[in-house]
Each structure stands twice: as C-alpha cells, then as structure tokens.
Amino acid sequence: MVMHSIDIEVQDENIVVVFEVPGVREEDVTIDAEGDTVRVVANRNKIADNSKDGNIDIAVDSVYYDKTAVLQEKADMKNMRATFFAGLLEIIIPRIK
C-alpha cells in the first residue's frame, strides 16, 4: 500500500495544507473543513473498453483517497481557497491570531 503525503506549513498569515492525490481530476475531489480538521475525499473510476475481434476486454481502474489533516493553529475555514495541479491539492487557510 502506497502512502501519499500531507504537508502542513504554518506561515505568518496562512496555513498551507498540501495533499498528494495522484490519479484523480479536480472534479473528483471533495474538501470538507470543520473545526480544526480538513478532510479530502477523492474518488475516480476509469473504465476502458479494449474489446476487439469478438474478445471482451474491459479494464477498470479505481482510485480512492480519504485523508484528514488536523491543524494545530486556529484557522478561518470559511475563507480557505484551494488549487489543484498535477496530483497536488493545495489548500490555503487564513490563520486566526
């Protein structure tokens, strides 16, 4: 089983949380932020029909992630923003000081 990383960086104004979620698209990802936790769920099912010449060949590739990061700082979850690129989901959350 491969473990993908979660990185948390506390900056002056923000908390930056980066989830590694390879193999999914942006539309496959759901973010739930409540209290001091950020939960990311990603689910992608890809079906390829390689059938030919009367032979049935169907491949199913499924990717599923359910990851939670617990923040050690107070954060303004209502004003978080997220970007997704190349299997990395970066969530920027303003700190509450």
* Residue numbers of the domain that contains 61: 6-94
Residue 37 has pLDDT above 60, yes or no: yes
Res 54: pLDDT: 80
The arithmetic mean of pLDDT across residues 70-78, rounded, is 94
* Whether the predicted model's global pTM rises above the 0.85 cut: no
**Quick one: pLDDT band at residue 57, thresholds 50, 70, 90?**
confident
**Closest to 80 in 3D by CA, of 90, 65, 70, 72:** 90
Query: At 54, which CATH number?
Result: 2.60.40.790
Tell whether 62 is covered by a domain.
yes
Question: Could you give the percent of the chain with pLDDT greater than 70?
Answer: 97
Tell whether 83 is covered by a domain.
yes
Res 59: pLDDT: 77
C-alpha to C-alpha distances, 13 to 34, 69, 82, nearest whole angstrom:
19, 19, 16
Helix (H) / strand (E) element for 73: namely none
52, 32 Cβ separation under 8 angstroms: no
> Number of C-alpha atoms within 13 angstroms, CB side, residue 72?
5
89, 18 Cβ separation under 8 angstroms: yes
**Closest to 83 in 3D by CA, of 18, 3, 34, 38:** 18
* Structural domains in the chain (count): 1
Tell whether 47 is covered by a domain.
yes
Res 60: pLDDT: 76
Tell whether 1 is covered by a domain.
no
Res 1: pLDDT: 54
Residue 3 has pLDDT above 80, yes or no: no
